[in-house]
Structure 1
Amino acid sequence: MAQEHRPLRHVRAAELSSDTAQTGAMTRREAVAGKTVGSEALWMGQAHLHPGADSGNHHHGDTESAIYIVSGHPVFVFAQDGEEVRLTPEPGDYVFVPPWTPHREENPGDEEAVVVLARSSQEAVVVALPPGSLA
């Protein structure tokens, strides 16, 4: 007996939904999720951060996140050994965010920053944290 396979799903850019977890001035849009395509273990979407804005401090629970920089110059801020560290990736670069790691995204540039996000959960887990230092 042949195994049944589920069909591939095509999500058009215009079909991305902002009905997902949000923090600060960052706008997240989901493309691949349980509620959009029936994914079981993966969430994928994009985020937009306007010039001069930041996402606010947050973490993604037990979820791993991978981020691909599409355009702009976002800065990723987290704490290491009690000090704030700032990553400054360029378009085409990737950033990995481990589970439970508090961080924020900032956009000090004069153009919108756009990134593609992939997470190890079909849900967009975003836990907002109080403002202030991450250290």
Structure 2
Amino acid sequence: MDKKSTCRLIRSSRTYHGKQGLDYAEAISKESVDAQGICMHLLTIPPGIRAKAHLHQDHETAIYMLQGKSAMWYGEQLELHMELDTGDFLYIPAGMPHLPYNPSETESCTALIARTDPNEQESVLLLPELEAALQKKGKDY
């Protein structure tokens, strides 16, 4: 029986550094279990840390906040803002620019993330020009 045709248990003990600038706990992906249509991993953002502005071109993202509080700038020019608390679900449509961050100076936040892209990093498109525009506007993150 090959690995495509059976269930696979992953005990996440490895991490990888994503293009977004954060470290992810490796879980379900094309790379780990040869997933065909989904990627799922755990993300802990340390206090005061943020990702790089990015989008996932053709893939949707679903997030569940397991612990703590997170915040995110999003929209075509990162003009919109939201905060997530423990127990919140978040949907990010394909192609939506976003920049998540941890607003706390003392507590980490942890989220379970799933995307319709089975690859851990292929669909990540960095948007440094949006990040620069956000900084010019004096927006906190």
Alignment of 1:20-31 (within 5 A): 21-24=18-21, 26-31=22-27
Quick check: which one's helix share is greater?
A: 2
Q: Which residue of 2 aligns with 1:128?
A: 126
8 Å contact kept, 1:22–1:28: no
Show CA shifts across 1:39-96 (max 9, x none): 111111111211111102111111100011111211011136x672211111111111
| SS of alignment partner, residue 8 of structure 2 | coil
CA distance, structure 1, for counterparts of residue 51 and residue 84 of structure 2: 16
Alignment of 1:1-135 (within 5 A): 6-14=5-13, 16-18=14-16, 21-24=18-21, 26-79=22-75, 84-109=79-104, 110-124=106-120, 125-130=123-128, 131-133=131-133
- What TM-score comes out, normalization by structure 2 length? 0.80
Cα gap change, 1:17 to 1:83, in 2 (>3 Å): closer
Alpha-carbon RMSD: 2.1
What amino acid maps onto 1:21 in structure 2?
G
What amino acid maps onto 1:9 in structure 2?
R
What is the percentage of aligned positions where both structures have the same residue? 25
Gaps of at least 5 residues in structure 1 are none
CA distance, structure 1, for counterparts of residue 58 and residue 86 of structure 2: 27
